[in-house]
Structure 1
């Protein structure tokens, strides 16, 4: 996040501190200086700063072109490894509370950009330019898994990411830090290399030389932490030290009346640097963090000292940040020390998701999702998956069986969605999963072995999504398709506006994706974009992260790789299937004229509709007439105003959400919706009502009011005869319309 205005000042006003470097030459020189010839020169990479550069795929608004993204990452990594440079990646693993205010400000700013994005799509039917570029939902979550699949070393932080990156680089004598954060100028660590100026073909970039910077602004390097805090950073807010900057600026203008041209920010930085260098008038004060001559109140001085200390790495002076577990004693009532250690280890190794935040921090956050603030039909993803998260919390924080009754604690959620002002966290209470036995302890799920435990892990995983009957499909279909079926079924149960056509789009793209190369996916043509399809794509990807969380909490009954988006989702492919499904396209065409794909698709759809029928959820056919739009004179889509669906609601989603809390999802259905020949399917859904109701609870999720489905604990979920896709007998037609 960095120091206010410092990066811009160095780039624009201090060319002598911007040194062009060849990373191959740097690596050779670094290897010649080191005594350890067994390890290649290491470059520490700030992964979060690289996401916007890594994701260069054309269609970013549709939910992510994940297979193309994997190929781009692979090529990027190979550029370094072929030059003999070892890469170590770091990703933000926590958001420290001292930075929460800044995090909230950024989330509100992105919300404003999201509104512009959807207005553009609904007005033009096209993706906007890069000026409105927003990262696909979940990119920061899944990129560490992608890099690990490419054999890279990846770490997820448990403290401030910049601090951990600088500490690692200093401790291991790394050749440099590749990122885009001016905090790396302040840390006394490895050389700071610009990601923004990296030319990947030539492996050249710019090195920001902190020694040259200090010479140009007339101060010493040990004064940089104080300069950073007075200018404003993520620890010391810009507003807190405004009075000091104002005084420094007034003094600077008196002393330099003839040099007031240039940017206001540049003048401010020079004024504050001159002020800082003037504070140390005596040699004995050089060792002080905050000179006594700086007139501050006791609270401000203490606050400023904390900010300066945050830049000091192990082995340097002053107070150091410890490595102790950041959880309170309350959590010891719910998990063992072994679980705490396992959570931390998995989190640091980027092998888990959500569990560390819940067990060790008691807080979960989710950044902006690509969803429309003005949409009156689709629910925000934060509410769609709330019921799922409550079940995950229950699995993770079940009181240990010591005879005492302890109420599990509420988890503090910071989720960005329309209507949430983010003034404070929402307190979300765990809700127990429905199992035929007592809920197992986390130690049993994570550390025990045997067929009964394996079956229990699987039962817990599916119970999180209220899809217990899908356990019988384990081993019969590929794990990635099983996960996709589970997720789409959960979405269908939670989102009343989801139609048959939406389900068909989800399932058909998951089935067809398995046979498509990244090159084929890039060749798909989209005549126009549907804002509703954009939201549904992001909703699915966010759901995959919840699958990861449920899988981790349940003891990993499924391999994590099966839950990653490049195995079950492509934004462009999904968008094309959505347009086809809502245009009354035959099933055969929807499945690329592949008989094996069609058979598997029909099997999955039958399982989904049966699961919905058991819960009194009747899926309706609601084709979107806007998907049939095509202007022969303009080429299609130039003046499209995309609707959000056939049925427009009278009020917003919040009003409808509250109105449905005490109602059944679909009451007193007079007749089943019939397609009347739509894709040749005839009657859809089920003509029998279910005796149990599933009303909406206070949390907005569908609450299971029926008795749990009975399952024997020793049951084997692996059956004979897997569904396998036969080779394509012909080249399918182009998926675009």
Structure 2
């Protein structure tokens, strides 16, 4: 992400902007100037995942033990030179960036298709040029870093703003990442993760001051440049004609650089020679072709303003202020309180007036008049929402922004609706950054507006939206529960729970799934019943006792055939538990033994495994988590249909995993047992005869099951330690692939278990637990030969090479007629689950 074309321009055209630095020397210099301050680097973790994942094998589901060791070495290297690391992860997808998120996911789908085509044609892992990070890497990296004692934070908006804010406020040594937005923010130095040499701690620092010198700009001009070039908020095509107009009039050394380089130079030249010339005399919208995009443009510029920073291009002090309504935003900073600490607004302490900054404009600006400070602060008002909405914006209607309310600080955020305009900036305060963050400031004022930016793009006509989407209501009203969930989210202790409670919206990125393989449904469908039961646990206070009264949850899950034009609307699935499901306050806060037992009961009920409680309790950690997933996968039946606006019931779709067989079970259990006795070095040296596409999917399926366990465990109040189902304890992709190939060829159990008698005993015990649970559900696990000789359904639709015993191989799914696909096919899936 970042500013389009800027990365390549800096590297090729302005190499002097990039300076090689040594982080150890920087830390020593920083410590000499600030003896009481530990040198700290704030890390944009999402930018670093590819750098951190150093294992050679990535196709089989992840080399988690090896990855954990590499990550630990990374942390120890910085600790050894006295540098503290603060890790930030994306915690939410902002609504104005949803389109960009979708575009990237659809692009990834095409890359995944190429990967599977490569596997099936060459039977080997593609080169690093086709590298795709293993499923769940970001999620499990959070837990890995926490296990290492590192400060790990999850953002309440896209992480780059919070990373830049943290770096500025805490006088950090630098920001380690790979995003050109860090060249635009006026914050601490931007350090490149891709250029980092861990052995020497040398990397490249990209200097924004030198960039400005090269372009003839001021630091305060960089947000303006970023928006004119296009970024994650401003679509690239919005100012395309303007950029080419600048290029056509740009006469300095045309053709010396590439096209994108010349455009950046031309736009910079226009800013420095034209806009600067008339600045203060004419409005920016008169000098630029903003047109109907004026509000969106200002949002883009404002999104780069950090605490204490101002822009000369934003919001001139309004003249002829017109009072429109007695509406207010309950946000203030008490001058007597600690710097930036959120406090409750007293009615007499300030007055908020919604005004029209331009009589010809429908945009509204909120002016705060503080009688104590005698100052006015301009605040962007959200005209789209008429009520307090402590949840994220609906991706369909794009109405109303996310609000964040901290019960302890008694800080409230309100936005209001104007029926005409559709622009506005919601606001929030991150609990980890103990300073309120500004949306933007007036250059004539000395006081910044204490808010942080959640820039929203509001374009949809609400009349075209379904009734469930237009109607926005809080998912959970209990402030104590929201505060607990929010705290756990920010500290990266839970997974997805806060998103469900605060916004009723979650997402899941791409998984290595072969869209041509019709036998295995997508993990999005396989684990959906589990998620639906979790929604029932979390949202039970939002309904009147009937399933239809539950609010739907919007799922943005990537799976083959999903265009992502709209989210899947999924209703909670009620569970029958003796004594009923307790309230979240009891489930999360009560430490009585009876409640602790209830937590486990509910976890197992989410997987529909209540009848196997006794057997699973007898299994040692961490293998009981694996058994839980295996039983669920083998007994999984058809899934309930999606909720659609105006439709209360649809036929069930058939998405069973009934092609799992005895050989698959043997491979899963054997790899988990053998993993317990292997060192990281042994796993690294493991070599595979070839790569099987079905084994690739099964590996990813299990890892997605582990992330689902993290969600269930978080929702149920942590009946199990999170460490129990971290993949480095129960799964190794390459080892599983080896056992799968051996099992497929009919190798004896002694070979699968490497002649280890104690493992063989445990193997039979674990297999008995799984098989007994399956028999209770009338699911008999049979060998592959049984399927090949008795079934022409799902196995018949598979390529013979993907599943038959031996090493014969052919192209899976190729030449297959859609007309021949049965009820379990992906085509049927699309029909049954079609979104309206």
Determine the structure 1 residue equivalent to 2:715. 553
User: Quick one: distance in 2 between partners of 1:80 and 1:115?
Assistant: 38
User: Quick one: distance in 1 between partners of 2:771 and 2:188?
Assistant: 57
CA contact (8 A) 1:68 1:518 kept: yes
Determine the structure 2 residue equivalent to 1:608. 770
Q: 1:651 to 1:603 in 2, by over 3 A?
A: farther
Residue of 284, 302, 306 corresponding to 1:313: 306
CA contact (8 A) 2:11 2:18 kept: yes
Say yes or no: does 1:534 pair with 2:696: yes
How far the C-alpha of 1:657 sits from its partner, in A, is: 6.6
Determine the structure 2 residue equivalent to 1:131. 129
Determine the structure 2 residue equivalent to 1:673. none
How far the C-alpha of 1:297 sits from its partner, in A, is: 4.6
Determine the structure 2 residue equivalent to 1:410. 552
**What whole-Å deviation, never above 9, does each CA across 1:647-681 have from its counterpart, x for those lacking one?**
999755875378799xxxxxxxxxxxxxxxxxxxx
Alignment of 1:196-235 (within 5 A): 196-235=194-233
Q: 1:464 to 1:46 in 2, by over 3 A?
A: same
How far the C-alpha of 1:504 sits from its partner, in A, is: 1.4
3-state SS of paired residue (1:285):
coil
Say yes or no: does 1:571 pair with 2:564: no
Determine the structure 2 residue equivalent to 1:274. 269
User: Quick one: distance in 1 between partners of 2:560 and 2:543?
Assistant: 40
Q: How many residues align?
A: 651
Q: 1:404 to 1:388 in 2, by over 3 A?
A: closer
**What whole-Å deviation, never above 9, does each CA across 1:69-116 have from its counterpart, x for those lacking one?**
011011111111111111111111111010111111111111111111
Say yes or no: does 1:656 pair with 2:818: no
User: Quick one: distance in 2 between partners of 1:643 and 1:402?
Assistant: 48
Q: 1:182 to 1:499 in 2, by over 3 A?
A: same
- Give the TM-score normalised by structure 1: 0.83
Q: 1:333 to 1:538 in 2, by over 3 A?
A: closer
How far the C-alpha of 1:579 sits from its partner, in A, is: 0.8
How far the C-alpha of 1:583 sits from its partner, in A, is: 1.4
User: Quick one: distance in 1 between partners of 2:109 and 2:292?
Assistant: 34
Residue of 227, 246, 249 corresponding to 1:248: 246
Determine the structure 2 residue equivalent to 1:437. 579
CA contact (8 A) 1:335 1:397 kept: no
Say yes or no: does 1:337 pair with 2:496: no
User: Quick one: distance in 1 between partners of 2:601 and 2:110?
Assistant: 41
Determine the structure 2 residue equivalent to 1:398. 540
CA contact (8 A) 2:745 2:805 kept: no
3-state SS of paired residue (2:555):
strand
Determine the structure 1 residue equivalent to 2:16. 16
How far the C-alpha of 1:322 sits from its partner, in A, is: 3.1
How far the C-alpha of 1:604 sits from its partner, in A, is: 1.5
3-state SS of paired residue (1:202):
coil
User: Quick one: distance in 1 between partners of 2:216 and 2:276?
Assistant: 14
Q: What is the RMSD computed on CA atoms of the aligned residues?
A: 2.9
CA contact (8 A) 1:17 1:208 kept: yes
- Give the TM-score normalised by structure 2: 0.74
Determine the structure 1 residue equivalent to 2:612. 470
Q: 1:659 to 1:221 in 2, by over 3 A?
A: closer
How far the C-alpha of 1:324 sits from its partner, in A, is: 5.2
Determine the structure 1 residue equivalent to 2:29. 29
Alignment of 1:446-485 (within 5 A): 446-473=588-615, 475-485=617-627
User: Quick one: distance in 2 between partners of 1:135 and 1:403?
Assistant: 42
Determine the structure 2 residue equivalent to 1:730. none
How far the C-alpha of 1:392 sits from its partner, in A, is: 0.9
CA contact (8 A) 1:583 1:628 kept: no
Which runs of 5 or more structure 2 residues have no equivalent in the other structure?
A: 311-377, 381-425, 431-453, 455-468, 637-656, 789-799
CA contact (8 A) 2:693 2:802 kept: no
Determine the structure 1 residue equivalent to 2:103. 105
3-state SS of paired residue (1:207):
strand
3-state SS of paired residue (2:556):
strand
3-state SS of paired residue (1:296):
coil
